[in-house]
Amino acid sequence: MKIVVTGGAGFIGSAVCRQLIAETNAYVVNIDALTYAANLRSLDAIAASPRYTFIQADIGDRAAMDAVLTWHAPDAVMHLAAESHVDRSIDRSDAFIRTNVLGTHTLLEAARAYWMRLPAERAGAFRFLNVSTDEVYGSLGADGGAFTEATAYNPSSPYAASKAGADHLASAWFRTFGLPVVISNGCNTFGPYHFPEKLIPLAILNALEGNALPVYGDGGNVRDWLYVDDHARALRLILARGQPGQSYNVGGRNERTNLAVVAAICDTLDRLVPAGAPRRRLITFVPDRPGHDRRYAVDAGKLERELGWRAQEDFASGLEKTVRWYLDNRAWWEPLRQDVYAGERLGLAAHTAAVE
58, 83, 87, 134: the catalytic one is: 134
Residue ranges for the chain with pLDDT beneath 50: 350-356
pTM: 0.95
List Cβ neighbours of 262 (8 Å cut-off, separation of 6 or more). Answer: 199, 203, 213, 215, 219, 283
Q: Check if 134 is active-site.
A: yes
pLDDT at residue 351 in the model: 45
151 in helix, strand or coil? coil
135, 255, 299, 313: the catalytic one is: 135
Q: Identify which of 343, 278, 306, 301 has the alpha carbon closest to the alpha carbon of residue 150.
A: 301
159, 193, 227, 248: the catalytic one is: 159
Q: Check if 135 is active-site.
A: yes
| Phi-psi region at 238: left, alpha or beta (left = phi > 0; alpha = psi -120 to 50) | alpha
pLDDT at residue 85 in the model: 81
**pLDDT tens track for 20-46:** 999 999 999 999 999 999 999 999 999
List Cβ neighbours of 209 (8 Å cut-off, separation of 6 or more). Answer: none
**pLDDT tens track for 104-145:** 999 999 999 999 999 999 999 999 999 999 999 999 976 779
Domains and CATH numbers, the chain: 2-195+224-256+295-315 (3.40.50.720)
